[in-house]
């Protein structure tokens, strides 16, 4: 087996991109955009990238009898039906065995996070941040990635738009540990200061504004009913021949516009009242939790998911936690 230098560079790039945290979809997309053809001259897909990462031949080894032919001359994947034979250092390597093992570990971990494969139940709810972090610069969603360094590996979150095009968004990654520490710090501040922060907010939401808005809604409903009656009178006059068509159209259009304006105002107030009722319920839950006085010592996914709607990343040093009760609170990011 002889190395083809141009193809070897693509293989090296695929492994390097995988270890840098790029998904097989991103890698395939970039190769296609560059006009790089597969060995057979086709387009790259996540599957073809995945096949390269899982092929031990790039390490210089060969695993014989990955497939076999049955008595009917049909080809099958060998899943333990027959013995397999590994010959190490069979030919010149393109990548090291360490790179190969790390890259495959990355793919395996991603599969677990997505629920692929066996024994994945314990991975399903481990990542409460998924889908809840957005970029304060471009509005993009943050994606979970594994970062690798000589001393080990760590989890980071990065803006999807930045990963795709650094020119479109300058926000760099933040670490999972820093984000978890920020949430624990913020929650402990609320535990300590719930009387000063949460109780006044609850009182304001329960205030007289609700009563005034409900009275206004009743007034609007009365006005809408009166508008409906006027429209009916107008229609009756037209049908009886007491009203010219041109005047009828003019008056009818004015009533229709007035009715639409009244409906929109009423709907807005209804949403406002209903929204505040939801916020009151969420605030009461948060107040019950914080008033227990128990400080958090470590991050808990269930607590985070229970109270936080989303996180907006302002910079690598500051984020905003947007709580389900309507609060938006800033917190500094500090590496633990």
- Yes or no: say if 207 and 193 are a contact pair by the CB < 8 Å rule: no
* Sequence spans of domains, the chain: 1-124, 178-332
Q: Which two tokens mark 144?
A: 């979970």
> Given this model, what pLDDT does residue 121 score?
38
**pLDDT at residue 207, as a whole number:** 58
Comparing CA positions, the residue from 300, 303, 310, 270 lying closest to residue 285 is: 303
- Return all residues near 261 (Cβ < 8 A) that are at least 6 apart: none
Q: What are phi and psi for residue 219, nearest 5 degrees?
A: -60, -40
d(CA 101, CA 56): 10
pLDDT confidence of residue 208: 43
pLDDT for 206 equals 63
Residue 109 has what pLDDT? 74
pLDDT of residue 270: 65
Q: Any residues with CB less than 8 A from the CB of 277 and at least 6 apart, and which?
A: none
Strand partners, 63: 86
Q: Which residues of the chain have pLDDT under 50?
A: 117-126, 208
Helix (H, G, I), strand (E, B) or coil at 198: helix
Check residue 123 and give its pLDDT: 37
Mean pLDDT taken over the chain: 84
160, 142 Cβ separation under 8 angstroms = yes
Output the pLDDT for position 152.
78
CATH for the stretch 1-124: 3.90.1750.20
pLDDT at 147: 87
* pLDDT for the residue numbered 107: 82
pTM: 0.48
What is the reported pLDDT for 210?
Answer: 60
């Amino acid at each position: 087996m002889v190395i083809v230098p141009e193809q070897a560079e693509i293989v090296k790039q695929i492994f390097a991109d995988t270890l840098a945290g790029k998904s097989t979809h991103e890698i395939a997309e970039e190769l296609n955009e560059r006009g790089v053809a597969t060995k057979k001259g086709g387009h790259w897909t996540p599957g073809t990238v995945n096949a390269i990462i899982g092929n031990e031949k790039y390490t210089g080894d060969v695993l014989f009898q990955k497939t076999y032919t049955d008595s009917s001359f049909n080809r099958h994947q060998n899943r333990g039906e027959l013995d397999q034979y590994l010959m190490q250092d069979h030919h010149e390597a393109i990548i090291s065995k360490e790179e190969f093992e790390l890259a495959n570990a990355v793919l395996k971990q991603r599969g677990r996070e997505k629920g692929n494969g066996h024994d994945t139940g314990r991975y399903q709810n481990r990542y409460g941040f998924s889908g809840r972090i957005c970029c304060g610069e471009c509005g993009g969603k943050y994606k979970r990635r594994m970062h690798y360094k000589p001393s080990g590996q760590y989890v980071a979150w990065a803006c999807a738009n930045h990963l795709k095009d650094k020119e479109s968004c300058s926000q760099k990654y933040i670490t999972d540990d820093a984000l978890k520490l920020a949430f624990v710090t913020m929650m402990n501040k609320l535990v300590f200061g719930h009387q000063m922060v949460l109780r006044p907010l609850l009182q304001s939401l329960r205030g007289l504004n609700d009563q005034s808005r409900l009275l206004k809604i009743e007034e609007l409903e009365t006005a809408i009913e009166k508008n409906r009656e006027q429209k009916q009178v107008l229609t009756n006059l037209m049908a009886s021949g007491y009203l010219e068509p041109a005047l009828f159209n003019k008056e009818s259009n004015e009533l229709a516009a007035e009715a639409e304006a009244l409906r929109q105002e009423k709907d807005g107030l209804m949403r406002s009242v209903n929204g505040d009722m939801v916020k009151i319920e969420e605030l009461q839950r948060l107040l019950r939790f914080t008033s227990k006085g128990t400080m958090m010592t470590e991050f808990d996914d269930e607590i985070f998911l229970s109270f936080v709607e989303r996180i907006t990343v302002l910079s690598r040093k500051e984020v905003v936690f947007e709580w389900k009760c309507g609060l938006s609170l800033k917190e500094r990011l500090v590496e633990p």
